[in-house]
Structure formats: structure tokens, C-alpha cells
Structure 1
Amino acid sequence: MTVLDLREANARDLEARAAAHRARLAPYVEPHLARRAAGEKHPVHDFLFTYYNHRPAQLLRWHPGLDASDPYVVGRRDRIRQVHELLAATAGRAGNFGCFGLHEWAMVHGSDENRHPMPLRLGAAATDRVTEDHRIACSHFDAFRFFTPSAVGFNTLSPGPGDRPAYEQPACLHGGMDLYKHAYRLSPMICSDLVADAFELAWEIRILDMRAAPYDMSGWTLDPTGEPWTPVPIETPEGKAEYVAAQRSFAERGAPIRAALIAACERLLA
């Protein structure tokens, strides 16, 4: 095989991987784009496209990654160090499997308005009592900052915007979803396959996050499967057990993604 043949074969391989990446993520991206064009919103499945600062077109674009000596990498080493510090600190900490997703309940405590266009499953008064009757230990600042003023004092922790490495822990659902954020912040320096892995994990975590939230989502479906929405009633022992089991599964699935991102940071900083 000649050098030209090798180059052509390599180009075909890269094109195939790029096509596979796009096909993998299109079932998530295309319904979102169709809803956006129609002026419709989905409180669960639009989250990864609206909360996170990574456009659908960027997500669909595949990159093989860059070498540590690439000028693009050299100019972003401060960002890489920040991501590495946070991920390494999180990986070295034990997970808290007793939060039960109460951050979403604390976000509506004592409020006349909901964060999402659905009624509360238990009603306002009973929802407030669930918040008040539990020990809340939210370690994730980007969840804690949305607590209502009346709920802030219920949290046993006080995470801030500048001390994430001191609080982040690997069982946190929002910490698991943020693996997607850390991955795309490293793009195109890392292979997009890792970004896709983190995105798909975040997608499933968001579903649990909202199933355990206090909202009545009757009539919603887990598209594209069409399965009916069912709540995880964390106010009951059975609901707590279901939540913890899913939380442990997500923590186990997130661990190798976090480890791969840590390794990628170390490679880029070498």
C-alpha cells in the first residue's frame, strides 16, 4: 500500500467515524431542533441544549482530538488545569447517596411559581413539608443557587461558585450531568466520542432528575420510546430506594467517563 493509499484509507476512516457520531446523536438533536422550529418546549429533553452552552451543530461535529503541542491546546492550558482539578477532586471523594434529589423540591419551597409549566404532584403545602422534613445536603452550587430564599437555610452545606473542587462528589446527579459540560469544554482537544458518551449519560440522568422532582408530568412521554412518564416518589421509602439504586448506577457509569476526561487532561498538559 502506498503513502497515498494510506492517506485515503485514513480519510475514509475519519469520515466513517464522523458519520457514525452524527448518526448516534441525531435522535437526540433532531427532535429538539424540530421543537425549536415549531416554538415548542420539552422541560426534560431540551435541558441539555438550553442549560449548557454547546450548540446542536457543535455536538454533531466530530473531532479526533489534538496533540498536546498543538497551539490551540497550548493557549487553553489554564482551562484544562481547572477542569482537571475539579474532576480529580470529585473522583477522590466518596459519593453521597442520601440526597434523594431534594434540590428540585427546594427550588419551589414557599414559592407561588413553579420552575416548569406543570403543577406540583402533591400540591404546594405537601411539597413544602417534604422539603422541611428531610435533611438536605446539596453539594452542587449550580443546583443550590436556585433554592428559594426560604429553602436556603435547610441545606447543611454552603457551596459557592469558586469552591466547586471542595464540594463536588461523584454521586451528585448534576455533577454527573456536568461531565458533559467538562467534555465539551475540552472539545476539540479530545475525541468527540467521549463528548457523546458524556452527553448520553447526562440525557438519562436528566430524566431521573425530573422523575424525582415534585412535578406532575402526567401525559409526558420518554420520547423517542413513547413510554409513559412515571414519578419516582422520593417522599416514600420505596421511592427513595428506587432513586438510590438509579443514582448508584449513574455514579458507576460516570466513573470511567470522569477517569477518561482526567486522563485526557493529563495528556494535554504533558
Structure 2
Amino acid sequence: MNDTLPEPVWRDRKRAHEQRVDGWTAPHLSRRRRGEKHPVHDFLFTYYSHRPAQLRRWHPGAGVTLAGADADEFGPFYTAVAGGVTLDTAAVLARRGDSLGWITTLLRRTAGREAQFGCFGMHEWAMVYRQTQEEVRHNAWPLRLTPAATAEVVATNRIRCSHFDAYRFFTAPARPLNVLTPTRETQHDNEQPGCLHANMDLYKWAYKLSPLVPSELVADCFALAREIRTLDMRASPYDLADLGVPPVAVETSEGRAEYARHQRAFATRAATLRNALLAACPTALLT
């Protein structure tokens, strides 16, 4: 049985969501119009496929009737019912059930593992290992150390990256240095809840589960991803101090301890969001 939201209630929620998202997207869109790049915040709109307008669009989630709504305002999966408009959950599952089932299995299996906190952000260093300044991904920004010193940090630290979508960006010489060889096929077996990238990716899984999950939850995952991305780049070999992004010097014992403290705090927050995503999914996806 659906819960019914009176029109003033859902319109207030919709408006609040749009205003919240505008606070994130307006600076990005302004930079894009000026042709400016930001190595920290652009990632959330370039690596991830969800466009600003899609993030801004509000959905109540499954099992909710919107009183006084027009189905055309919300999209093709919405249908008119007695008392208003609701999401046709069966239609969403018929169209996207296999991929959504893959996502919920990943979320559930990741949640069931013990968190690991010993990677110390070495994945970002492995992405520039043995590259020149011209070859590195964000080459408009200098490295904090020389290429030789950067390579030494990678060579002398055990790399423990379990996340395929981070590992696949390692340079070829760095890949054999990783303890694991993650693949897309082993993603369900490898991802663990202490990983910064696995927790940042909650945003990706949230928007891919949309419109089955409330847009406020998608935005919560975006907010966490934004903070995690900042730590990810603070702990990277890049010198981003001029952007107001001071380094976490993971090449030192003090920096590694600081990184692990932040990582643990993010893992706690991510666990709450991961469980919320699973709780918001229709039962048919959780079997």
C-alpha cells in the first residue's frame, strides 16, 4: 500500500531538494561556461554519468502517491492512480531489473565485509607512477614531489587497492605492484566498506537505483562523495594548495594516520547510506 503525500508536502520537499542541488551544481556549470577545470569537484560530473539536471530532478521513491501531481511532470515510469500519481515500480523492474539486482547484490555483499583501512590512498599515486608531468592526468597542476620521489613512494608502500574502477587507471608499471588484480567480474568479491572509492560510488549506485529511491537519499550520497573526493585529492601526489585543498602527506607516518582517521569516519557514514539504499529498494530486488 502506498503512502500518500499531500501536495504542499511533496512540493516543499521537491523545492528543498532543488535548492540543495543548485548549491553544488551552480559553481560547476559556471566554470563550464568559462571553460575552467577543477581537478577536485569536476570529477563528480565528468567521471559519473549523472548530469546536473538529473541530480536536480526530484523523485519521492517507490511506494509513494503524490496527491495533486501530474504524471508528465515526473517521467515515463509514473502513472495516475486514485488520489494522485505514483511510480510504476513493476515497470521499472521489468526494464532494469537485472542491472538493479547486480547493484543491490554489490551493496549487500560490501556491507557484509569487514572494513580495511590500510591502503593510505596509494591508488592515486599508482595512477601517476613512472609518468612525466606532461603525462599525468591533471597535468595543469604540479606534483608535490619530483617524479622520481613520487615513484619511490609507490615502490616502498604496499598497494592494497580492491576497487576495480580505481585499479584500471593505474599506470602499466604500477599494476603488478598491487596486492590484488581486481576485475569487473570479481567486483562483488573484492569491494569492502572502508574503501574511499567504494563509498564514493554510493552516489553512482543511488542514481542508478533512481527513481526507486528518494532523491534526497541520492543527494546525501552525492554530499558524501564530494567530501570523499576532496580527501582523495588531498592525499594524492598533486599540489592543490592554491585551490584551498591542503595536502594529507600520506608519504609520512603522520599523513597516513590522518588519512586513516578520515577514512574510518567516511566508512561509518557510508554504512548508514548503504543500508538506507538497501532499505529503500523494493523487496523484489533483495531476494
TM-score, length of structure 2 as denominator length: 0.86
Residue of structure 2 equivalent to 1:237: 253
Task: Say whether residues 1:21 and 2:17 are aligned partners.
Answer: yes
Q: Quick one: distance in 2 between partners of 1:190 and 1:75?
A: 16
Residue of structure 2 equivalent to 1:114: 136
Task: Say whether residues 1:156 and 2:156 are aligned partners.
Answer: no
Q: How does 1:138-153 map to 2 (within 5 A)?
A: 138-153=161-176
2:58 aligns with one of 55, 62, 67: 62
Residue of structure 2 equivalent to 1:224: none
Q: Quick one: distance in 2 between partners of 1:69 and 1:143?
A: 33
Q: How does 1:71-86 map to 2 (within 5 A)?
A: 71-86=91-106
2:272 aligns with one of 235, 256, 260: 256
- Compute the displacement of 1:238 (Å): 0.6
Aligned AA (2:271): A
Q: How does 1:199-238 map to 2 (within 5 A)?
A: 199-221=222-244, 229-238=245-254
Unaligned runs of 5+ in 2: 64-87
Residue of structure 1 equivalent to 2:151: 128
Residue of structure 2 equivalent to 1:225: none
- Compute the displacement of 1:70 (Å): 3.4
- Compute the displacement of 1:218 (Å): 2.7
Residue of structure 2 equivalent to 1:94: 114
2:124 aligns with one of 59, 83, 104: 104
Q: Quick one: distance in 1 between partners of 2:148 and 2:196?
A: 26
TM-score, length of structure 1 as denominator length: 0.91
Aligned length: 256
1:51 aligns with one of 47, 50, 54: 47
Q: Quick one: distance in 2 between partners of 1:269 and 1:110?
A: 44
Q: Is the 8 A contact 2:164 2:183 kept in 1?
A: yes
Q: Percent identity?
A: 54
- Compute the displacement of 1:41 (Å): 0.8
Q: Quick one: distance in 1 between partners of 2:183 and 2:53?
A: 32
Q: How does 1:173-212 map to 2 (within 5 A)?
A: 173-212=196-235
Aligned AA (1:205): I
Q: Quick one: distance in 1 between partners of 2:31 and 2:110?
A: 35
Task: Say whether residues 1:172 and 2:195 are aligned partners.
Answer: yes
Aligned AA (2:58): W
Unaligned runs of 5+ in 1: 1-6, 222-228
- Compute the displacement of 1:261 (Å): 1.2
Q: Quick one: distance in 1 between partners of 2:44 and 2:19?
A: 18
Q: Is the 8 A contact 1:80 1:265 kept in 2?
A: no
User: Could you report, residue by residue, the CA deviation over 1:174-230 in whole angstroms, capped at 9, with x for unpaired residues?
Assistant: 001100000000111111011011000000000000000001113112xxxxxxx21
Q: Is the 8 A contact 1:81 1:265 kept in 2?
A: no
User: Could you report, residue by residue, the CA deviation over 1:103-150 in whole angstroms, capped at 9, with x for unpaired residues?
Assistant: 000011111211112111011010000000001010000000011111
Highest RCO, 1 vs 2 (Cα 8 Å, sep ≥ 6): 1
Q: Quick one: distance in 2 between partners of 1:74 and 1:264?
A: 18
Residue of structure 2 equivalent to 1:226: none
Q: Is the 8 A contact 2:100 2:285 kept in 1?
A: yes
- Compute the displacement of 1:266 (Å): 4.7
